Amino acid sequence: MDNILLLGKNSFLFGSADQNDFKFEHASISKFHASIYFSSDMEVVLVDLNSTHGTVIARAETEIKL
């Protein structure tokens, strides 16, 4: 995977569409699957974007869904 410069950007999109910051080609990945952003107190927040299969990290589903 290529290195991505984080400066000047506080959110990133993940999905299968070309417009995402991180593009994944897999049947379980929605076109616009999830977003990660940095809150004002610099916490990392993962948001599921109403993906078909949900968003899971380390077997724990995301709590925030749009």
Q: Which domains does the chain have, with CATH numbers?
A: 11-61 (2.60.200.20)
Output the tens digit of pLDDT for each of the chain's 66 residues: 455 556 678 889 999 999 999 999 999 999 999 999 888 887 888 999 999 998 888 766 666 655
The pTM of this model reads: 0.74
- Residue 41's pLDDT is 82
- Residue 40's pLDDT is 80
- Residue 64's pLDDT is 60
Residue-wise DSSP of the chain: ------TT--EEEEESSTTSSEE---TT--TT-EEEEE-TT--EEEEE-S-SS--EETTEE-S-B-
